[in-house]
C-alpha cells in the first residue's frame, strides 16, 4: 500500500510539474497586443480542474469505471452527433459546444477519449465472444467515433482514435489479418476525406512543394522552419520569441512545439521529446505489472493515444508530415485537451491500482500461507504439549 501511494504521489507531482511547464509554454506563445497572462492564466485554471478530475477518476475503483463505460459511450456518441451538425464553429470546424450563459466552449472529442478507450478494451476482452465478433464490435465502435469526428471535420483527432485500434488488437493477441484489415481499411476514408475537403489537398501540395505558395497554403510550413531556426541551440536571446508571437499561426496551441524550440532551442525541444519517450517506458512498465488483461490493455493504449497525439503534433511542427491541427498534450493551450489528458491518465491510474492491488493481495496471501506451513513443521520439542 505504501509503495502504491509513493508511486501515485510521484505521478501527481510529475503531472503538476509538466502541467506548469505547459503553462509556461503558453505564456511564451503570447501574441502581440494580448496580455501574456490571458491564455496562461486560463491554462492554469484548467490545470487545477484537470488535476481534480485526475484524482477523482484515479481513486474510482476500476470495476465501477468498467460498469459506467458503455452508458457513457452512448452519451458521448449522441453528443458527438449533435456537435457534428449543431456545434460551435472555430476555424471552420464545428467541434465545440458552447455552454449556455457562459463563454466556455468544450470539445467533446477530447473528453471522450478515456470512455472510447475503456469501451474498446472491454469489447476486445469479451471471453464469451468469438474473435470475429470481438473484432467486428471494436471496429464498428472505432468507425462510429471516427466518422462523427471527420464530419466536423477534424482529421487529426480522428487519426488518434483510429490508431488505438490496430495497436489494441495486437496487444490483445488478435490474428494478423484483423490488424492488417484495419490498417488498410483506413486508406479509403483518408482518400475520401482529402477529395471532399480541398483545403486538405492544398496542405499536402504545400507540404510537397513549400516554395510554390509561400504566402498561401505553405505559409504555416515555412513559418515553422523559420521559428525553429530562430531558436538555435539554447533559444532566442532573452526568451524573446519574436517570430512565434508575430508570424506563426496558433503559436499557443497547434504550433506550440515550434514556439518551445524558439524559446528554449534545440536542447529544450530534445528534452520534451525525451520526456515523452520516458512516458512510453513508464506506461509499458505499469502495464506489464498489471495482471488483469483489460486493465493492462487500458494502460497500454492510454499511453499509445497520448504518444500518438504528441508525435503527430511534433511531426507537423518539424514539417516531416503534412499540417493537421493537433494539440501537444500538457503543453498546448486548451481546457478540453488538458482535461481529456488528465481523464485518460486517471483511467490508466485506476486500472493500474486495480491490477497492482490484486497482485499485492496475492503475494500477501502466499506469504501468510508460507508462514503457516513453517509453523506446522516446527520440531516437536519446541511445543509445550506434545505426545
Tell me how many helices (H) and strands (E) the chain has.
15, 3
Select the more confidently predicted residue: 94 or 356: 94
* The three grid cell numbers given for residue 239, joined into one nine-digit string: 526568451
Query: Each residue of 121-166: pLDDT tens digit?
Result: 999 999 889 999 999 999 999 999 999 999 998 999 999 999 999 9
> Which pLDDT band, with edges at 50, 70 and 90, does 367 fall under?
very low
Stretch among 26-35, 76-85, 118-127, 282-291 having the lowest mean pLDDT? 26-35
pLDDT, the chain, mean: 85
Q: Is residue 370 part of a domain?
A: no
Task: Look at residue 386 in the predicted model and tell me its pLDDT.
Answer: 38
Task: Look at residue 364 in the predicted model and tell me its pLDDT.
Answer: 46
Task: Look at residue 31 in the predicted model and tell me its pLDDT.
Answer: 60
Q: In what order do the strands lie in the sheet with 88-90?
A: 88-90, 93-98, 105-106
Which residue range is the domain that position 343 belongs to?
2-354
Query: Each residue of 254-313: pLDDT tens digit?
Result: 889 998 998 888 999 999 999 899 888 889 888 888 888 899 999 999 999 999 999 999
Task: Look at residue 14 in the predicted model and tell me its pLDDT.
Answer: 84
Q: Is residue 376 part of a domain?
A: no
Q: Is residue 185 part of a domain?
A: yes
Q: Is residue 373 part of a domain?
A: no
Residue in the block written with cell 469489447: 123
Is the pLDDT score of 107 beyond 90?
yes
Is the pLDDT score of 374 beyond 60?
no
Task: Look at residue 239 in the predicted model and tell me its pLDDT.
Answer: 56
Q: Is residue 360 part of a domain?
A: no
CB 282 within 8 A of CB 249: no
Is the pLDDT score of 168 beyond 90?
yes
CB 19 within 8 A of CB 312: no
Q: Is residue 386 part of a domain?
A: no
What share of the chain has pLDDT > 90, as a percent?
A: 47
Q: Is residue 363 part of a domain?
A: no
Task: Look at residue 45 in the predicted model and tell me its pLDDT.
Answer: 93
Task: Look at residue 243 in the predicted model and tell me its pLDDT.
Answer: 63
- State the total domains in the chain: 1
Query: Each residue of 5-19: pLDDT tens digit?
Result: 777 777 888 888 888
Task: Look at residue 165 in the predicted model and tell me its pLDDT.
Answer: 94
CB 295 within 8 A of CB 61: no
Task: Look at residue 58 in the predicted model and tell me its pLDDT.
Answer: 93
Task: Look at residue 234 in the predicted model and tell me its pLDDT.
Answer: 85
Task: Look at residue 82 in the predicted model and tell me its pLDDT.
Answer: 93
Query: Each residue of 56-73: pLDDT tens digit?
Result: 999 999 999 999 999 999
Q: Is residue 359 part of a domain?
A: no
What share of the chain has pLDDT > 70, as a percent?
A: 86
CB 28 within 8 A of CB 263: yes
Task: Look at residue 33 in the predicted model and tell me its pLDDT.
Answer: 59
Task: Look at residue 184 in the predicted model and tell me its pLDDT.
Answer: 92
Q: How far is CA 339 from CA 74, 83, 118, 283, in A?
A: 20, 18, 17, 19
Amino acid at each position: 500500500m505504501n509503495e502504491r501511494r509513493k508511486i501515485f504521489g510521484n505521478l501527481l507531482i510529475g503531472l503538476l510539474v509538466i502541467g506548469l511547464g505547459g503553462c509556461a509554454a503558453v505564456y511564451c506563445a503570447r501574441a502581440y497586443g494580448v496580455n501574456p497572462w490571458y491564455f496562461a492564466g486560463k491554462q492554469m485554471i484548467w490545470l487545477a480542474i484537470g488535476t481534480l478530475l485526475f484524482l477523482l477518476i484515479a481513486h474510482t475503483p476500476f470495476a465501477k469505471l468498467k460498469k459506467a463505460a458503455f452508458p457513457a459511450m452512448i452519451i458521448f456518441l449522441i453528443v458527438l452527433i449533435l456537435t457534428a451538425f449543431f456545434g460551435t464553429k472555430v476555424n471552420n470546424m464545428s467541434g465545440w459546444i458552447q455552454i449556455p450563459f457562459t463563454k466556455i466552449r468544450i470539445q467533446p472529442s477530447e473528453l471522450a477519449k478515456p470512455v472510447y478507450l475503456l469501451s474498446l478494451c472491454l469489447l476486445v476482452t469479451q471471453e464469451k465472444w468469438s474473435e470475429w465478433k470481438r473484432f467486428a464490435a471494436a471496429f464498428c465502435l472505432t468507425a462510429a467515433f471516427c466518422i462523427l469526428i471527420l464530419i466536423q471535420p477534424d482529421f487529426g483527432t480522428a487519426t488518434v482514435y483510429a490508431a488505438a485500434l490496430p495497436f489494441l488488437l495486437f496487444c490483445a493477441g488478435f490474428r494478423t489479418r484483423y490488424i492488417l484489415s484495419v490498417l488498410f481499411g483506413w486508406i479509403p476514408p483518408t482518400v475520401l476525406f482529402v477529395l471532399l475537403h480541398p483545403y486538405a489537398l492544398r496542405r499536402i501540395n504545400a507540404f510537397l512543394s513549400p516554395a510554390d505558395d509561400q504566402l498561401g497554403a505553405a505559409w504555416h510550413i515555412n513559418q515553422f522552419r523559420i521559428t525553429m531556426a530562430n531558436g538555435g541551440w539554447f533559444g532566442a536571446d532573452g526568451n524573446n520569441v519574436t517570430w512565434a508571437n508575430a508570424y506563426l499561426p496558433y503559436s499557443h496551441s497547434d504550433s506550440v512545439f515550434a514556439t518551445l524550440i524558439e524559446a528554449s532551442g534545440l536542447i529544450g525541444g530534445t528534452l520534451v521529446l525525451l520526456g515523452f519517450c520516458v512516458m512510453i517506458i513508464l506506461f509499458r512498465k505499469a502495464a506489464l505489472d498489471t495482471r488483469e488483461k483489460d486493465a493492462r490493455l487500458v494502460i497500454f493504449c492510454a499511453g499509445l493515444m497520448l504518444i500518438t497525439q504528441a508525435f503527430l503534433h511534433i511531426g507537423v511542427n518539424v514539417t516531416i508530415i503534412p499540417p493537421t491541427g493537433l494539440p501537444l498534450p500538457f503543453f498546448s493551450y486548451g481546457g478540453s485537451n488538458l482535461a481529456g489528458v488528465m481523464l485518460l491518465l486517471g483511467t490508466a491510474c485506476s486500472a493500474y491500482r486495480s491490477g497492482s492491488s490484486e497482485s499485492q493481495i496475492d503475494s500477501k496471501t502466499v506469504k501468510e500461507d508460507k508462514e503457516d506451513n513453517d509453523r506446522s513443521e516446527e520440531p516437536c520439542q519446541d511445543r509445550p504439549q506434545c505426545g
